[in-house]
Structures are given as structure tokens and as C-alpha cells.
Amino acid sequence: MDPSDNKVTTLEELKLLKNKLQIRRDRFGRRDKDTINENESSFFRNANLSASVNNELISQVGPSSMSSTRTYSPESSSKEPSNIEYEKLVREYFTNNLHSKCTFPIESYELLKRLATWQSVRTIPFTKISLYNLEKALRTLSNIWGPNVMLIKEKQIGKSKRLVVEKVDIEKFGVINVFESSIESDDPSMLDKSLQLTTSVNGSKKRKIEDLTDDTALKEINELLDKPSFKEVEEKQSLYDLCIMLDKKSSKDKLIMEMFRSTNNSFREFCVYGTKVDCRKQRRTNRACNRLHFRPMLRSHTELDLGDCSYLNTCHRMDTCKYVHYELDDDEEHWTYEKRRQIPPAVANYFWLKVFTPPKKVLPPQWINCDVRKFEFSILGKFTVIMADPPWDIHMTLPYGTMTDDEMKAMAISDLQDDGLIFLWVTGRAMELGRECLAIWGYERADELVWIKTNQLQRLIRTGRTGHWLNHSKEHCLVGIKGNPEGLNWGLDCDVLVGEVRETSRKPDEVYGLIDRLAPGKRKLEIFGRQHNTRPGWMTLGNQLDDVRLYENDVFERFNERYPEKPCRLTQLPADY
């Protein structure tokens, strides 16, 4: 089913509004004599028209006319239009260019004369009951569509009260006419067709049905009807208070954040002006700011007119490239740095001993040089966190081998975890393939990291060596969850990393800090790693590592039992472990 069918259009809202106002109409304008007699008796009991009005009608129209077909009597009641007929007449009169805006205001009596003389298929007996029915129709139209469409007022004229039409929005009346005609039509599809119409108003200007929503009266009624009840407000307020309570960080969460926060202000920002010379010039001082700066590397072959190199420090032709390259300007200008406020020792000791279990001292880096496509993962045991940067086949020339999609899906990643998280780096082509692999391995996608790539000058990369149609300035890392992992610090970090690009396929070091804060002291595994990826507390697998280094005795024994043809030696822990 089309989702647009579920939307309530303006026409349907107007139709519902008429039902809510309990306006009961005769679709075909038929009324029996009992209804007319009832209206007649009600008129003579409550009508404000006096006998002078009837005399005025006779004097202006003529005795002969009033005494013939236009004189009201029970016998001629069949010729008297009903209220619904008068409403149709008024709508047609105002929407057929028969009334100019300059003739407002107009009295109901004058309007009745014009309707009576108008060439229409309906015959109007010019009587007191005709004037009464017309005024009743005007009141109905004004009540339904609001004063912005038709504004009427009651004025004292002589000894009688008359209705005066002060203003009519002819454009909106044209839209209303289409709406009313579609409802009164015998064709059930007429209303659906009118929903698609753009109604022509005054023969030239076009106006959509939705413009009726500008009507203030309709908006006020809709707002009143849509306003929640006291019970609904009370229920929503309780849910709102519950959400605030659940989202509010506890004292434990705040202390965990403080424990992982840097206390020596080791993080330093890069200056937006780049070099110290430009920084002094822009700040109009003799001293550069305390942020990090760069200095240009000017060689004999450098041509300043060419500008900066697109690849900067990742350029493969650094020794011959004529463009400008940069290096970090580490000459200190003796700035002093204020340390962060530390947690009181008493609070910190209580936190570590009573509230939070401190992470045990992690092992030094471990790694195994192997072909991960054929390696027996079960000998490694279970891990809380796994990170993988697979060599996806992206149909480009790469300085390393790649794996096919089927080889990736066939990997026994499920043997490495019962409960935990996996961080899977994917390229643009492998975005959906990575999700398929997570499902095959038994994971559910829980989140996604985005690495925004910057160059050496901390600017967004706009040129590079990746991408078929557009240069890639970001990479994605899918986060999958399996089982019910415990002891994780949720909500500490953001899902966006901003880091500098280095060697081909090398990921930012910030991701290791993010994972270590998420799962401190837990066993972690990196697949498809290289020597620069080895980290304390991590085990790394890959075919570009230096042999085998293991500190865990059980892993060492299982490895030698499974691969007796290439046994390894158990590495002794340092003395301080």
C-alpha cells in the first residue's frame, strides 16, 4: 500500500469537520412537505422579519409578482428551494464572476434580488420565507468555513434586522465549490479526483486544495480537537520524567569518565593559520599561539608558485616533488600548561575499590604470523572485542593481497566469541557485504563508526588515490554485538573519529583508545594486522608480522599441538609484570 494513502488530506479534514459540527445535509436537496411546514412554522414563530418586510418586498417587486408564482403558500412550497439549494446558489453566484469585490458589503435582501433575477435553472419565489432561507444558508456557510471565507454581520435596518455580507474570499469559495460538488456527486470517484485537482479561480489564477489550511478558524478547531486530554498529558509527562531519569548519568558514570580523562592536558590543537609566521601575522603579535604549527620544507627543487602538494606527507615522490611539503614545527616557545583538576584521592580510592573493579594489568603485545584464511581460530580462546580490517577486493591495484567475498564469509569468526563486540572496517563497495558477513558470523549490527580523513595540515581530504567516481574522505567501521557482553563502559565516546591519513589502509590510532576505554582490561584480538598495529592487551593476526610471540601459556600449548611442524617458544614476561 502506498504510504501516501494514509495521509489525511485537507478535503478529508474538511469533511470530518462538517461531521463534527453535526451538520446534517440532504445530499440531493430533497425535503418533504413536513420539513418545509416545520421550517415555516418555526419561521413565523422566531423570524425577525416583520410585516413591514413583506410590504417592502411587495412595493419593490410589484403586487402582480407577489400575487402570482412568487407568493408563498403551502401549495407553492414545492417551488421554494431548500437551505442546501440556497447554499449552492450562493456558492455558484460568488464563483462565476457574477459579483465584484467592490460591491461589498451587500445586504441579504439585495443578494436575494440578484439571485432571483440571475439566469439559473432554479426558480426562487420572492417571499419572506425565501429571505429567511437565504439568511439561514449564509449563516451556515459562515459557520462552516469561517469568517476568513465569508464574514457576515447582523444590522438593524428600519424595524427589522437584516444580514449583511461584509466580505467574501472568492478564491477560497472556488475551492469550496469543488469540494462540495465532489461530496454531492453520485460518482464515488469524484472526491478522489478532486484531491488531485488544482482548482482554477477567477479563470486565471490557480490554487491548490491545501491552501484552505490557511483558514484560521479551521486551524483553531483542528488544534482544539487534536489537543491531548488531561490523562494523555499525565501519561506523557510520566514517560518524559522516566526518560530524563534514565538518560541522566549516574555518579558512577561520571567517575568513570573522569578516570579516563587526561590530567596533564597532553592534547594540543593545531593552529588554524598553519605556520608560525602566518599565526603572528594574523594575531598581530610577535609571538605565535601555544597550538601546534607546521613549517614548510623548502628544498632546491621546490617551486613555491605551485602551492601545496595534494598528498603532503604521504607523497611517494617526496625527493623529487616540486610542490610544497610541511613538517611539524616543534620549537617550543615556553608556554606553561595548566593541569586539569584531579579527583580527590579519597574519592578515587573508594571508587576503584568499592564501585568499579579496576582493570588488571594487560599483557604486552602478542602476535602470530599466519594465513588467516586457514588458521585455526579455536586455539586462541575467547575474546571480548575483535577488530578486523579485511583486504576487501575493491578492484584496484593494491600493495597487498586481497580476499574474495566467499573467503570472507567462510571465516570461522564465530569461534572467537560467545559474548562480545566486533569492529569491522568496510569500504564503499563492501558496505552491504560487511553486513552480510556479520549476520553469517552470528552478530547483530549495533552501531557504526565513521572515520573522517584529514591530511597533514588537518584539512579535509579532497584529493586521494581511492574512489571510482568521488574521492573518499571517510571510512566506515561496522560495530556488531553478539550475546550479552558484560563489564563494558557504554556511552563514553562519540561515533565519529577525525584522524590523519598515513600509510595505505592504516587506520587511526584513536580507535584503539576508544576500544580500550570501552572494554578496559579485556582480551582483544585484531585480525589482518601489521607490525605497527600491535598493542598491549591485544593479540594480532596477519601475514605481515614478525614470526610468533605469545605470553599466554594455554594458547602456547594449543598452538604447538595444532601446528607441530612450526612450533613456537613461550615468551617470558618482563620482570615488572
Name the pairing type of β-strands 366-369 and 385-388: unpaired
Strands of the sheet containing 474-482, edge to edge, are: 496-500, 444-454, 474-482, 420-426, 385-388, 524-527, 538-542, 366-369, 548-549
Q: Specify whether the CB–CB gap between 86 and 160 falls below 8 A.
A: no
Higher pLDDT, 331 or 515: 515
Phi, psi of 336 (to 5 degrees): -105, 140
The strand pairing partners of 295, in sequence order, are 327
Q: Is the pTM of this model over 0.85?
A: no
The arithmetic mean of pLDDT across residues 209-223, rounded, is 59
Could you give the C-alpha distances from 330 to 182, 262, 265, 292, 489, in angstroms and in order? Answer: 79, 21, 17, 8, 36
Looking at the predicted structure, is the pLDDT value of residue 548 above 50? yes
Q: Give the pLDDT band (50/70/90) at residue 476.
A: very high
Q: Which three cell numbers stand for residue 356?
A: 568499579
DSSP string, 473-536: -EEEEEEEEES---S--TTSS-SEEEEE--STTPPPTHHHHHHHHHSTT--EEEES-BGGG--T
Could you check whether the bond before residue 344 is cis, i.e. omega within 30 degrees of 0? no
Mean pLDDT of 25-52: 41
Q: Nearest-CA neighbor of 173 among 90, 52, 51? A: 90
Averaged pLDDT, 221-230: 75
pLDDT at residue 500 in the model? 87
Judged against a pLDDT cut of 90, whether residue 387 lies above it is answered with yes
Which of 28-37, 244-253, 391-400 shows the lowest mean pLDDT across its residues? Answer: 28-37
DSSP string, 17-59: HHHHTT----TT----HHHHHHHHHHHHHH----HHHHHHHHH
Nearest 5°: CA angle at 257, between 252 and 262? 145
- pLDDT surpassing 60 at residue 33: no
Pick from 286-300, 315-329, 387-401, 420-434: least confident:
387-401
Say which residue, 299 or 245, is predicted with more confidence: 299
Of residues 9 and 230, more confidence is placed in 230
The average pLDDT across 47-69 equals 42
Which is nearest to 516 in space by CA: 441, 423, 435, 445? 423
pLDDT one-digit tens code per residue, 272-305: 888 888 888 888 888 888 888 888 888 888 888 8
Q: State residue 169's pLDDT score.
A: 78
Q: 83-94 and 108-117 are packed helices; what angle lies between their axes, rounded to 10 degrees?
A: 80
Residue 552 and residue 383 in contact, taking contact as beta carbons nearer than 8 Å: no
Please give the Cα distance from 76 to 72 (Å, whole number).
6
Domains, the chain: 3-223 (no CATH), 270-329 (no CATH), 361-562 (3.40.50.150)
Determine the average pLDDT of the residues in 456-483.
Answer: 81
Q: Which residue has the higher pLDDT, 54 or 514?
A: 514
- Answer whether 103's CB lies under 8 Å from 52's CB: no
Mean pLDDT on 65-76: 37
Considering only CA atoms, which of 113, 168, 116 is closest in space to residue 142? 168
At 33, the amino acid letter reads K
**Which of 234 and 379 is assigned the larger pLDDT?**
379
Residue 514 CB neighbours (<10 A)? 18
pLDDT of residue 341: 55
pLDDT tens figures, 153-187:
888 877 778 888 888 877 776 677 666 666 655 55
The length of the chain in residues reads: 577
pLDDT category at 484 given cuts 50, 70, 90 is very high
Q: Do residues 385 and 421 lie in contact, with contact meaning Cβ atoms separated by under 8 Å?
A: yes
Lowest mean pLDDT among 18-27, 479-488, 492-501: 18-27
The overall average pLDDT reported for the chain is 74
The residue type at 380: L
| Distances from the Cα of 355 to the Cα of 344, 352, 471, 521, angstroms | 15, 6, 48, 16
User: Per-residue confidence at 211, pLDDT binned at 50, 70, 90?
Assistant: very low
Q: What's the half-sphere exposure (Cβ side, CA atoms, 13 Å) at 222?
A: 17
Q: What percent of the chain has pLDDT over 70?
A: 66
State pLDDT tens for residues 86-129.
888 887 787 775 555 557 788 888 888 888 777 555 677 777 88
CB 268 within 8 A of CB 291: yes
Compute φ and ψ for 423, nearest 5 degrees.
Answer: -110, 110
Q: How far apart are CA 279 and CA 112, in angstroms?
A: 84
pLDDT over 60 at 14, yes or no: no
